Amino acid sequence: MKTTPNPTSSGSAIVLFKYFGSTGITVTGPASSRVYRFSANGAAVSVDGRDAAALARVPNLRAVRRA
């Protein structure tokens, strides 16, 4: 039986990102292909650690904590 690994079982951490923009933003993680929706200024979303480096380069997104 084939299973899809989740971020914690594959060894990657979860990283909490916060959005500091004036409107919402949607970003697709390049490693996981997950879609992350930040609905408004101050929105926080848990991000797969494999996507963290790419999301850190997106304007107005900041990593605030690793889980």
pLDDT tens, position by position, 18-30: 999 999 999 999 9
Higher-confidence residue: 10 or 49? 49
Q: Write down the pTM of the prediction.
A: 0.79
The pLDDT of residue 67? 65
* Strands of the chain, DSSP E: 14-19, 25-28, 35-38, 44-48, 61-66
Q: 63 with 16: CB under 8 angstroms?
A: yes
The pLDDT of residue 3? 39
Is the pLDDT confidence value at 12 over 80? no
The pLDDT of residue 65? 85
pLDDT tens, position by position, 38-56: 999 999 999 999 999 999 9
